[in-house]
């Protein structure tokens, strides 16, 4: 007999067994149910709001959050925390536009590449502090965030740029389709592609598995021969590049560049990742969960707008959603009971 | 047989404490060397230095006669050194299969990995060891014994030249130990050099060809296993021979309310119809094979696992079921099986761990902690349990494995419970401390505490238990009382 085969039992499935089967690695199913429940509430409270336009709006506002969340996800799985990514993002986006205007050049692809490279360079600051000087990740990123913003405002610029270079602006206006009155921008495609790429990397590459290993137990990772500092350096470089790209997506979608934007959105992004199952203790989380987390946050915010709730309330409501999401996660993981059965089945004992 | 590995002049100090002084050991290909020593004598430290996890202050390592200096972790893995660490060093968030395959994956150095490959690697090892493990379960959800098996499997997933096993069997029973010893024979035949650490004397003699004894970080004696007897081994590592005699604490003269009454409790799929009593001042052993449900029953009584049926009374009072807080409030102390994750907070000080379960005793009225009382309580525990530390303010992680165990024991002793449940109280503890701990249990019982001791260490059961209860497949399976308790009878019932 193969050692791992567990005996199948011919009796009715209980609810918790069904749940065990479908809950997903990071309890994504619970999240999906929560999203559906919220939609249900909307359907009752404000049925007229549930249109294709609404869906389009959710996607539109979720796309930058997702792009930012992907890099943060890597950091959180490895057991760290990062608050510098919005600063990196807006620095890269704004500086790229500034460079383009300064030299009077235009383009479509290379500005995104340049922004990503800037992000990577800025991410190397985090990498340096965390891997080389072994600083606490959150503290390191609090420091780099301040430095990056300072440099941006002092040396790059602090003015609002109201129009983008022409070709780039065309991207901001081109959509692949319309959902109701809401156009779906073409930039959705590269962000989705990136999500698939990160997901593949996390599941199928040694680098990805090392991130989970470090998040699970750093010392154990070292003991099996994983080069922890080298993995950390790569995490922060990639997270920086992703943030840089996200910053450019934000600038192009909003069709202007302001150095004061994005900063302040870190809570939403952290919330999305954490609700998606990446608990701050590290070692858990998935792209799928993060996507659901982003959808949930985006849904909540758009619903509040539809319901005409003052924006002052948004932070509060997002906070409550985070608490509920995290509570579900915590509850679900504590319910993961031991699976070994000791008693023979009841029929046998009767 | 050629020398496989030598460590020469290894010295290591932590702060002011000398953990190792000029230690030399050598192990040949195809032999099992037992590294023996009391708790805190430096065994794990030596192993960690050889595997590159810790750096020695002086000394060097030779592999096959070649000086390799002080290898890093990756160096030592490349040299064919594998270690089963005392704390297992697994990844709780990953599956059993991935844990087993991890070092092989790291060593293979491929960029892209496949789940099937990890599974195949794991299946191969698990089958070779003839074990039962659910490969797709996450390690955080499996029992301590299974974790230990996973750690063993991981070390064997690679071709290994020198294998270090730092107390690999603390949570295992004879069945798994048996299959481990068969694998050890096989590895020996393949020319693998094995270094084995264990506090179980029987096992040491069953497995090893040679024995090197460490005492306070110095090699005290080294020679063929045949030059030692169980008693001479214990004497050479402790400096004296502790008594293992059956010696029962006095029971209260007149009948009192039982400390613990368990009436017909059951839990879905785990156990059913479990009933027994533990009298005040009585020490009752609860034993059974691994996976018999003994630990689950203990956890249910304390409140970690909720019960579906039945009733539990502590000192005559019905205990509300299903929460640890209720267990503590009802007057139950519980020393868990999985001490390193459930029993202590490794980063915190010895002192604060010791008083963690009895905060009400060291608090002033407003709820503030009284640091003088805290220091006094922890000093008391450090002394009675003989915890080897130069400063109780150091973190628990700075203690040797066996001393960490004593901290968990001390933590619950300080609560002065009506019922003390101990799951393997002397697992990983040296013979000297074992005698001390059993003596403390006797004294605690004489003050009226009822003690329920889950253990499969037969000499220990015989040494202190008034009664021994047996569990088999989730049901009670008879008991032995007073004069009927003997090593032969217990073994006979366990092997049935
Ligand atoms: N990180 C550390 N900081 C300070 N002291 C330490 C540290 N690690 C080990 N020690 C000390 O070194 C000594 C040897 O510890 P070691 O863990 O090697 O003992 P051991 O022989 O493995 O004991 P056990 O049988 O209990 O596992 C102990 O006195 C311990 O307190
Ligand atoms: Mg040790």
CA dist., res. B62 & res. A66, Å (int): 53
Does B245 reside within a domain?
no
With 60 as the cut, is the pLDDT of residue A198 above it?
yes
Q: What is the CATH number of the domain that holds B212?
A: 3.40.50.300
Sign of CA dihedral A59, A63, A65, A67: positive
Q: Mark residue B239 as left, alpha or beta (left: phi above 0; alpha: psi -120 to 50; beta: remaining).
A: left
B226 reaches A (C-beta below 8 A): no
Q: What angle do CA B126, B130, B136 make, to 5 degrees?
A: 35
The burial class, CB within 10 Å (0-12 / 13-18 / 19+), for A184 is middle
Does B255 reside within a domain?
no
Does B468 reside within a domain?
yes
Task: Enumerate the residues of chain B whose CB falls inside 8 A of the CB of residue A217.
Answer: 89-92
B327 & B458 share domain: yes
Cβ atoms of B452 and B286 within 8 Å: the answer is yes
Predicted local confidence at residue B290, as pLDDT? 75
B276 & B209 share domain: no
By C-alpha distance, the chain A residue nearest B52 is A223
Does A32 reside within a domain?
no
**Residue B385: phi, psi to the nearest 5?**
-95, -5
Whether B402 lines ligand 1, by a CB cut-off of 6 Å, is yes
* Residue B116, token pair as written in the block: 């099937």
Distance B429 CA to ligand 1 centre (A): 13
Task: Enumerate the residues of chain A whose CB falls inside 8 A of the CB of residue B77.
Answer: 224-225
Q: Beta B193-197 vs B162-166: how paired, if at all?
A: parallel
Does A293 reside within a domain?
no
Does A121 reside within a domain?
yes
Number of structural domains, chain B?
2
With 70 as the cut, is the pLDDT of residue A114 above it?
yes
Who wins on pLDDT, A106 or A21?
Answer: A106
Nearest partner of A185 among A47, A322, A344, A62, judged by Cα: A62
B318 & B451 share domain: yes
User: 10 Å Cβ neighbour count for B482?
Assistant: 10
Distance of CA B66 to the CA centre of its chain: 35
Note down the domain range covering A134. Answer: 63-263+280-286
B266 & B179 share domain: no
Predicted local confidence at residue A1, as pLDDT? 33
B271 & B204 share domain: no
Nearest partner of A341 among A349, A350, A329, judged by Cα: A349
Predicted local confidence at residue A330, as pLDDT? 67
Sign of CA dihedral A253, A256, A257, A262: negative
Option in B102, B141, B293 nearest A342 (CB): B293
Candidates A214, A343, A347, partner chain B, best to mutate (most B CBs within 10 A): A343
Predicted local confidence at residue A301, as pLDDT? 85
Predicted local confidence at residue A217, as pLDDT? 92
Point out the ligand 1 atom lying closest to the alpha carbon of residue B400: 17
Cβ atoms of B301 and B326 within 8 Å: the answer is no
CB neighbours of A20 closer than 8 A, spacing ≥ 6?
none
Q: For tokens 């499997």, name the residue.
A: B153
Who wins on pLDDT, A301 or B120?
Answer: B120
* Residue B195, token pair as written in the block: 């270094």
Chain B, 46 to 105: residues with Cβ < 8 Å from chain A are: 51, 53, 73-74, 77, 83, 85, 89-94, 98, 102-103, 105
Whether B432 lines ligand 1, by a CB cut-off of 6 Å, is no
Nearest partner of B425 among B446, B408, B411, judged by Cα: B408
Does B422 reside within a domain?
yes
* Chain B: closest CA distance from residue A4 (Å): 5
Task: Enumerate the residues of chain A whose CB falls inside 8 A of the CB of residue B473.
Answer: 342-344
Chain B, 136 to 155: residues with Cβ < 8 Å from chain A are: 136-138, 141-143, 154
* Residue B270, token pair as written in the block: 């785990």
Candidates B48, B99, B102, partner chain A, best to mutate (most A CBs within 10 A): B102
Predicted local confidence at residue B432, as pLDDT? 86
B266 & B375 share domain: yes
Number of structural domains, chain A?
1
Record: contact B133-A215, CB cut-off 8 A: no
Record: contact B74-A206, CB cut-off 8 A: no
B232 & B325 share domain: no
B280 & B177 share domain: no
Point out the ligand 1 atom lying closest to the alpha carbon of residue B46: 18
| pLDDT (tens digit per residue) in B209-243 | 999 999 999 999 999 999 999 999 999 998 888 88
A347 reaches B (C-beta below 8 A): no
CB neighbours of B235 closer than 8 A, spacing ≥ 6?
B241
B126 reaches A (C-beta below 8 A): yes
Candidates B44, B71, B92, B94, partner chain A, best to mutate (most A CBs within 10 A): B94
Cβ atoms of B93 and A216 within 8 Å: the answer is yes
Across the A/B interface, how many CB contacts are shorter than 8 Å?
A: 119
User: 10 Å Cβ neighbour count for A159?
Assistant: 10
Q: Where are the alpha helices (DSSP H) in A4-103?
A: 15-22, 28-45, 52-77, 85-103
Chain B, 370 to 429: residues with Cβ < 8 Å from chain A are: none
Does A313 reside within a domain?
no
B414 & B272 share domain: yes
CA dist., res. A243 & res. A287, Å (int): 16
Does A163 reside within a domain?
yes
Note down the domain range covering B147. Answer: 3-238
Predicted local confidence at residue B396, as pLDDT? 85
DSSP H helix total and E strand total for chain B: 16, 20
Q: What angle do CA A26, A32, A37 make, to 5 degrees?
A: 140
B324 & B393 share domain: yes
Nearest partner of A251 among A165, A327, A137, judged by Cα: A165
Cβ atoms of B48 and B167 within 8 Å: the answer is no
Record: contact A4-B133, CB cut-off 8 A: yes
Distance of CA B60 to the CA centre of its chain: 30
Task: Enumerate the residues of chain B whose CB falls inside 8 A of the CB of residue A220.
Answer: 89-91
Task: Enumerate the residues of chain A whose CB falls inside 8 A of the CB of residue B51.
Answer: 223
| pLDDT (tens digit per residue) in A44-82 | 888 887 788 888 888 888 999 999 999 999 999 999 999
Ion ligand 2: protein residues whose beta carbon lies under 5 Å: B 44, 86, 401
**Cross-strand pairs, B363:** B369
Does B253 reside within a domain?
no
Does B70 reside within a domain?
yes
User: 10 Å Cβ neighbour count for B185?
Assistant: 12
Does B338 reside within a domain?
yes
Does A225 reside within a domain?
yes
CA dist., res. B164 & res. B51, Å (int): 9
* Chain A: closest CA distance from residue B78 (Å): 9
Option in A6, A219, A342 nearest B291 (CB): A342
Predicted local confidence at residue A171, as pLDDT? 87
Q: What ligand has the least distance to the C-alpha of B402?
A: 1
Does A226 reside within a domain?
yes
Question: Whose CA is closest to atom 3 on ligand 1?
Answer: B398
Point out the ligand 1 atom lying closest to the alpha carbon of residue B404: 26
With 50 as the cut, is the pLDDT of residue A11 above it?
no
Predicted local confidence at residue A346, as pLDDT? 35
* Residue B52, token pair as written in the block: 């590159």
Element (H, E) at B451: strand B450-454
How confident is residue A8, by pLDDT bands cut at 50, 70 and 90? very low
B291 & B426 share domain: yes
Question: Which residues of chain B fall short of a pLDDT of 50?
Answer: none
What's this model's pTM, rounded to 2 decimal places? Answer: 0.86
B406 & B445 share domain: yes
- Residue finishing a domain among B173, B207, B238: B238
* Chain A: closest CA distance from residue B446 (Å): 35
CA dist., res. A199 & res. A242, Å (int): 14
Predicted local confidence at residue A25, as pLDDT? 58
Whether B388 lines ligand 1, by a CB cut-off of 6 Å, is yes
Predicted local confidence at residue A74, as pLDDT? 96
């Amino acid at each position: 007999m193969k050692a791992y085969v567990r005996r199948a039992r011919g009796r009715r499935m209980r609810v918790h067994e069904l749940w065990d089967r479908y809950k997903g690695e990071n309890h994504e199913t619970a999240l999906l149910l929560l999203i559906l429940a919220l939609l249900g509430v909307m359907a009752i409270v404000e049925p007229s709001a549930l249109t294709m336009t609404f869906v389009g709006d959710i996607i539109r506002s979720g796309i930058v959050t997702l792009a930012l969340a992907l890099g943060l996800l890597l950091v959180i799985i490895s057991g760290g925390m990062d608050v510098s990514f919005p600063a990196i993002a807006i620095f890269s986006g704004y500086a790229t536009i500034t460079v383009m205007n300064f030299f009077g050049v235009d383009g479509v692809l290379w500005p995104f590449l340049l922004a990503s490279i800037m992000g990577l360079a800025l991410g190397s600051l985090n990498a340096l502090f965390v891997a080389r000087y072994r600083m606490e990740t959150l503290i390191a990123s609090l420091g780099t965030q301040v430095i990056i913003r300072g440099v941006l405002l002092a040396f790059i610029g602090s003015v609002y740029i109201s129009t983008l270079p022409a070709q780039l602006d065309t991207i901001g206006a081109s959509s692949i389709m319309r959902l109701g009155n809401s156009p779906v921008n073409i930039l959705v495609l590269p962000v989705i592609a990136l999500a698939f790429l990160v997901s593949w990397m996390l599941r199928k590459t040694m680098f990805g598995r090392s991130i989970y290993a470090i998040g699970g137990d750093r010392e154990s990772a070292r003991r099996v021969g994983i080069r922890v500092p080298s993995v950390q350096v790569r995490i922060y470089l990639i997270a920086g590049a992703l943030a840089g790209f996200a910053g450019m997506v934000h600038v192009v979608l909003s069709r202007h560049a302001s150095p004061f934007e994005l900063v302040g959105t870190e809570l939403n992004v952290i919330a999305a990742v954490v609700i998606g199952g990446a608990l701050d203790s590290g070692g858990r989380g998935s792209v799928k969960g993060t996507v659901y987390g982003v959808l949930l946050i985006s849904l909540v915010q758009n619903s509040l707008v539809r319901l005409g709730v003052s924006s002052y309330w948004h932070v509060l409501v997002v906070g409550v959603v985070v608490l509920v999401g995290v509570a579900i996660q915590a509850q679900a993981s504590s319910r993961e009971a031991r699976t070994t059965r000791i008693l023979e089945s009841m029929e046998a004992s009767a | 047989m050629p020398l496989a590995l030598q460590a020469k002049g290894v010295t290591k100090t932590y702060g002011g404490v000398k953990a190792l002084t000029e230690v030399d050991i050598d192990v040949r290909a195809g032999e099992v060397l037992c590294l023996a020593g009391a708790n805190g004598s430096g065994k794990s430290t030596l192993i960690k230095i050889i595997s590159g996890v810790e750096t020695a202050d002086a000394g060097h390592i030779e592999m096959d006669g070649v000086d390799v200096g002080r290898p890093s972790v990756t160096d030592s893995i490349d040299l064919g050194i594998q270690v089963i660490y005392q704390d297992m060093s697994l990844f709780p968030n990953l599956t059993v299969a991935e844990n087993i395959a991890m070092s092989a994956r790291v060593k293979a150095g491929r960029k892209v990995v496949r789940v099937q490959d990890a599974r195949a690697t794991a299946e191969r090892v698990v089958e070779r060891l003839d074990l039962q493990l659910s490969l797709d379960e996450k390690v955080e959800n499996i029992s301590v014994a299974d974790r230990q098996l996973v750690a063993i499997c991981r070390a064997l997933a690679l071709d290994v030249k020198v294998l270090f096993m730092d107390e690999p069997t603390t949570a295992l029973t004879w069945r798994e130990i048996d299959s481990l010893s068969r694998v050890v024979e096989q590895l020996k035949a393949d020319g693998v050099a094995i270094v084995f650490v264990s506090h179980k004397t029987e096992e040491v003699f069953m497995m090893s060809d040679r024995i090197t004894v460490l005492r306070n970080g110095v090699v005290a004696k080294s020679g063929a296993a045949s030059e030692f007897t169980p008693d001479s081994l214990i004497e050479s590592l402790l400096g004296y021979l502790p008594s293992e005699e059956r010696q029962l604490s006095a029971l209260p003269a007149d009948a009192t309310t039982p400390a613990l009454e368990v009436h017909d409790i059951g839990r879905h799929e785990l156990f059913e119809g479990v009933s027994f009593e533990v009298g005040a001042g009585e020490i009752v052993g609860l034993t059974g094979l691994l996976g018999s449900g003994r630990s689950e029953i203990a956890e249910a009584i304390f409140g970690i696992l909720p019960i579906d049926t039945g009733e539990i009374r502590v000192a005559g009072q019905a205990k509300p079921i299903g929460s640890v807080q209720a267990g503590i409030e009802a007057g139950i102390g519980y020393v868990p099986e999985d001490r390193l994750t459930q029993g202590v907070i490794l980063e915190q000080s010895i002192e604060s761990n010791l008083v963690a379960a009895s905060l009400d005793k060291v608090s002033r009225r407003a709820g503030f902690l009284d640091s003088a009382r805290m220091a006094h309580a922890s000093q008391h525990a450090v002394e009675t349990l003989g915890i080897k530390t130069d400063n109780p303010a150091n973190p628990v992680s700075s203690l040797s494995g066996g001393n960490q165990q004593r901290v968990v024991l001390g933590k619950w002793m300080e609560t002065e419970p009506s019922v003390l449940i101990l799951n393997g109280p002397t697992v990983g503890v040296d013979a000297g401390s074992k005698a001390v701990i059993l003596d403390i249990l006797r004294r605690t019982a004489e003050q009226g505490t009822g003690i329920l001791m889950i253990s499969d260490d037969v000499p220990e059961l015989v040494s202190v238990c008034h009664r021994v209860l047996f569990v088999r497949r989730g049901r009670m399976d008879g008991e032995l009382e007073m004069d009927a308790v003997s090593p032969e009878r217990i073994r006979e019932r366990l092997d049935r």
